[in-house]
Amino acid sequence: MSAEIIDGKALSREVMEDLKPRIASLKEKGIIPGLTVIIVGTDPASMSYVTSKGKACERLGIGSETIMLKEDTSQKDLLAIIENLNQNSRVHGILVQLPLPDQIDENLVLESINSEKDVDGFSPINIGRLMAGQDCFVPATPNGVMEMLARSNIDPEGKHAVIIGRSNIVGKPMAALLMQKKKGANATVTLCHSRTKDMEKLTIQADILIAAIGKPNFVTADMVKPGAVVIDIGINRVDDDSRERGYRIVGDVDFEAVKEIASAITPVPGGVGRMTIAMLMRSTVQSAESSL
């Protein structure tokens, strides 16, 4: 039996629809939620993500600004721009696209963003709040996964969730969210990474298996327990001469084989990526509401 396909397009549309009345109500009070994205350099993946964010803002009537900086921008200049945005009352969300060039200290930059405007939840204050189980901005991708599970009536409580990947922006916050002592979480979490031994022995136990590695077809059918929920966060370009652009986007999971074993699975594209954008919009609206 083939798995249920968790439709990120449809679920993200639901999240966006829920935002419309909230945005209208803010506008009645004279507030237009505003998101500013800073991008240093021209990394193609970052550029495509920034374009998607801009389109989503436009669709919802959220103010959107993209500050494009040259690859050789100094740390001092970037920090000054962030400080200006911190002070600007029309800006409710500030997002600095990662990775940053070598001359810039990423930690210093993330620390400099006002935690009340850190809609991506990457600043140490929001990371600390997340670990402490407090209300905070949560990184959009793992937040989107939690929302997908909730909207698909998949309750992680008591389940064994195995995450592959421990990055600060995806794997670690994903683990923190799933282990929270609260409704919609309460999972038992195992976090795997490149130094994990016999990883297949862990993944095969997963009721919920989450892949955030960045390697096409990494998760194969033999690593998946029959009936597991499989969430594919990976976004990878693979060469494809049949496409005009010469590549296609795939996730970290061998989708065709794994969908025959899993009970539910997210596709790539059309899965978690869509939710990431929607959650970012939601955080921006939330920030604007908090500014009232």
Ligand X SMILES: NC(=O)c1ccc[n+]([C@@H]2O[C@H](COP(=O)([O-])OP(=O)(O)OC[C@H]3O[C@@H](n4cnc5c(N)ncnc54)[C@H](OP(=O)(O)O)[C@@H]3O)[C@@H](O)[C@H]2O)c1
Sites of contact with ligand X (CB under 6 A): 141, 164-167, 169-171, 192-196, 212-214, 233-236, 272-273, 276
Q: How far is the CB of 205 from ligand X (least distance, A)?
A: 16
Classify the C-alpha dihedral 190-138-59-27 as positive or negative: positive
Q: How far is the CB of 245 from ligand X (least distance, A)?
A: 17
Contact 118, 126 (CB under 8 A): yes
Q: Decide whether 31 or 109 has the Cβ nearer to ligand X.
A: 109
Instruction: For helices 140-151 and 8-28, give the axis angle rounded to 10 degrees.
Output: 110
Which one of 7, 53, 172, 254 is the catalytic residue? 53
Tokens describing residue 35: 């998101």
Q: State the catalytic residue, choosing from 7, 118, 120, 254.
A: 120
Residues 6+ apart with CB under 8 A from 56: 16, 62, 277, 278, 280, 281
CB of 261 to ligand X, least distance (A): 20
240 catalytic per annotation: no
Residue 53 is among the residues annotated as catalytic for this protein: yes
Cα 152 from Cα 130, distance rounded (Å)? 23
Cβ distance to ligand X smaller for residue 34 or 267? 267
Q: Which is nearer to ligand X, 31 or 213 (CB)?
A: 213
- Rank residues 44 and 158 by Cβ distance to ligand X and give the closer one: 44
C-alpha distances in Å from residue 158, one per residue of 26, 112, 155, 162, 276: 39, 38, 9, 13, 25
97 is catalytic: yes
Q: Provide the annotated active-site residues.
A: 53, 97, 120
